């Protein structure tokens, strides 16, 4: 009886010590004193909270939103990405996109869709009528159209919906794919590369360019441009046709799903996250529409989370997204239950080692496996923490509306979480 009492007392004191430590460090922190902070921490597979600080309040998650997109993908997709749907109709091949972003993407594995289209002898027609979305998501900043993190959404992306510019020597710029080379114009008023807002005309500086410059600039998408780029690359004509394909279609699978998930999470790739929600829609027989995909995924897979989701896009670019820390922690448990531990920790950024965490939480081996989420005045970190005693904790540490440099808030989050790693 005394032994049982002692064990229970130790467990209770351990729980209190983490809670006490967390609340003390946040309240005494000069860095976190003038912002909104929310934290939730739980032991893996245990229902009760281990420690919390305003974890019932809503915060803008930024790229922590990708955790929700990841879970949607894990719930709906298999081991391979459905890359294209098609119908063989006599001497014609009718195709439509699934939202798969991998075709000719410069940073993803080679897509089997390319080989499929290259090998076909029929006349190919592309129909985009299943796409019912807008190029930009709700709440996205219009002025970010030129930035590599905000490519447009489309039913059948090619080349990641970006142009990759590489600086060679002096004034020389190389565009990939090469078709964009003739749309480059020198400009005395620029220091970088700037696309005209409404057109695919790219202005670049006349001044000498860095030898190793690599800059990705989103292009303005359209159905006509999609088939033009495909036709040029495949060296065969693809035509546009606007007809619905309502009968059962066959599917070509493109790349392993984990290659998409890993890049999306490691480098926080917004384009992949947005297209993942379109893939979710396609797999569930929905039009390619993010809003409908989010509504479906919320109702089917996430209705049991603690607080209602204010979920507006796949990537977290939208400032309309709002989640509570305790909801994100509950989602982390669902993700852990869905994916084998080794595979999950490979997908997630590893502290001091990979992705957006490679320069933080440095140690002998990674003890943080988590997703960052940041834009102006916001920094969040949610994921899995391994303590020195071998416990696995789920955590969400959210920081909104600060005016300090993000680096200061990031270091404070690192300090507090490292303390929990060392003490618990």
β partners of residue 371: 382
Q: Are 189 and 111 members of one domain?
A: yes
- Nearest-angstrom CA–CA distance, 67 and 72: 9
Q: What percent of the chain has pLDDT over 70?
A: 95
Look at residue 135 and tell me if it is in a domain. yes
- pLDDT, greater one: 281 or 190: 281
Q: Which of 256, 290, 317 is the endpoint of a domain?
A: 256
Average pLDDT, stretch 403-419? 97
3-state DSSP call for residue 217? strand
Average pLDDT, stretch 309-319? 98
β partners of residue 195: 202
pLDDT of residue 207: 76
3-state DSSP call for residue 226? helix
Residue 46: count other Cβ atoms within 10 Å of its Cβ: 12
Is pLDDT at 1 greater than 60 in this prediction? no
Peptide bond before 177: cis, by omega within 30 degrees of 0? Answer: yes
- Nearest-angstrom CA–CA distance, 295 and 292: 5
Tens digit of each residue's pLDDT (9 = 90 or more) over 355-392: 999 999 998 899 999 999 999 999 999 999 999 999 99
Tens digit of each residue's pLDDT (9 = 90 or more) over 199-209: 999 998 877 67
- Nearest-angstrom CA–CA distance, 36 and 421: 23
Q: Are 143 and 280 members of one domain?
A: no
Q: Are 320 and 344 members of one domain?
A: yes
Structure tokens at 80: 């391979």
pLDDT of residue 412: 98
Q: Are 308 and 403 members of one domain?
A: yes
Q: What is the CATH number of the domain that holds 44?
A: 3.40.710.10
Q: Are 190 and 284 members of one domain?
A: no
Q: What percent of the chain has pLDDT over 90?
A: 88
Q: Are 311 and 418 members of one domain?
A: yes
Q: Tell me the residue length of the chain.
A: 424
Residue 208: which domain range? 82-256
pLDDT of residue 210: 75
Look at residue 261 and tell me if it is in a domain. no
Q: Are 403 and 275 members of one domain?
A: yes
Residue 6: count other Cβ atoms within 10 Å of its Cβ: 10
0.95 exceeded by the pTM? no
Look at residue 262 and tell me if it is in a domain. no
Q: Are 134 and 20 members of one domain?
A: no
Rg value, the chain, Cα: 24
Look at residue 334 and tell me if it is in a domain. yes
Is pLDDT at 165 greater than 60 in this prediction? yes
Is pLDDT at 189 greater than 90 in this prediction? no
End-to-end C-alpha distance for the chain, whole angstroms: 26
**Which residues have C-beta within 8 Å of that of residue 192, sequence separation ≥ 6?**
204, 205, 215
Q: Which helix (H) or strand (E) holds 394?
A: strand 392-400
Q: Are 220 and 273 members of one domain?
A: no
């Amino acid at each position: 009886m005394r032994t049982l009492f002692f064990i229970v007392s130790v467990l209770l004191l351990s729980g209190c010590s983490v809670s006490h430590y967390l609340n003390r460090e946040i309240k005494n922190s000069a860095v976190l004193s003038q912002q909104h902070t929310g934290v939730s921490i739980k032991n893996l597979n245990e229902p009760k909270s281990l420690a919390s600080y305003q974890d019932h309040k809503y915060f803008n998650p930024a790229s922590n939103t990708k955790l929700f997109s990841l879970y949607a993908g894990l719930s709906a997709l298999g081991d391979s990405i459905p890359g294209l749907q098609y119908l063989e109709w006599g001497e014609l091949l009718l195709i439509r996109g699934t939202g798969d972003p991998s075709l000719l993407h410069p940073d993803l594995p080679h897509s089997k869709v390319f080989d499929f289209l290259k090998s076909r002898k029929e006349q190919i027609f592309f129909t985009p009528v299943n796409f019912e979305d807008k190029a930009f998501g709700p709440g996205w900043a219009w002025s970010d159209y030129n930035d590599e993190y905000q490519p447009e959404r489309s039913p059948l992306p090619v080349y990641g919906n970006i142009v990759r510019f590489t600086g060679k020597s002096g004034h020389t710029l190389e565009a990939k794919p090469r078709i964009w080379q003739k749309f480059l114009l020198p400009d005395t008023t620029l220091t970088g590369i700037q696309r005209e807002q409404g057109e695919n005309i790219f202005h670049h500086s006349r001044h000498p360019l860095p030898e190793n410059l690599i800059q990705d600039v989103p292009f303005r998408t359209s159905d006509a441009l999609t088939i033009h780029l495909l036709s040029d690359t495949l060296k065969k004509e693809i035509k546009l046709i606007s007809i619905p394909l309502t009968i059962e279609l066959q599917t070509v699978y493109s790349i392993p799903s984990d290659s998409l998930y890993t890049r999306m999470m490691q480098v926080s790739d917004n384009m992949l996250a947005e297209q993942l929600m379109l893939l979710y829609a396609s797999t569930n027989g929905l039009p390619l529409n993010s809003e409908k995909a989010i509504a479906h995924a919320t109702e089917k897979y996430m209705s049991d989370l603690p607080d209602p989701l204010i979920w507006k896009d796949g990537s977290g670019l939208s400032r309309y997204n709002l989640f509570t820390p305790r909801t994100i922690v509950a989602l982390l448990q669902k993700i852990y239950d869905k994916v084998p531990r080794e595979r999950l920790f490979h997908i997630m950024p590893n502290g001091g080692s990979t992705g957006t965490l490679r320069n933080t939480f440095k140690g002998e081996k990674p003890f943080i496996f988590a997703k960052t989420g940041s834009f102006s005045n916001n920094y969040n970190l949610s994921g899995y923490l391994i303590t020195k005693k071998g416990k696995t904790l789920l955590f969400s540490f959210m920081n909104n509306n600060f005016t300090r440099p993000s680096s200061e808030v990031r270091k404070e989050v690192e300090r507090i979480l490292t303390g929990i790693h060392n003490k618990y």
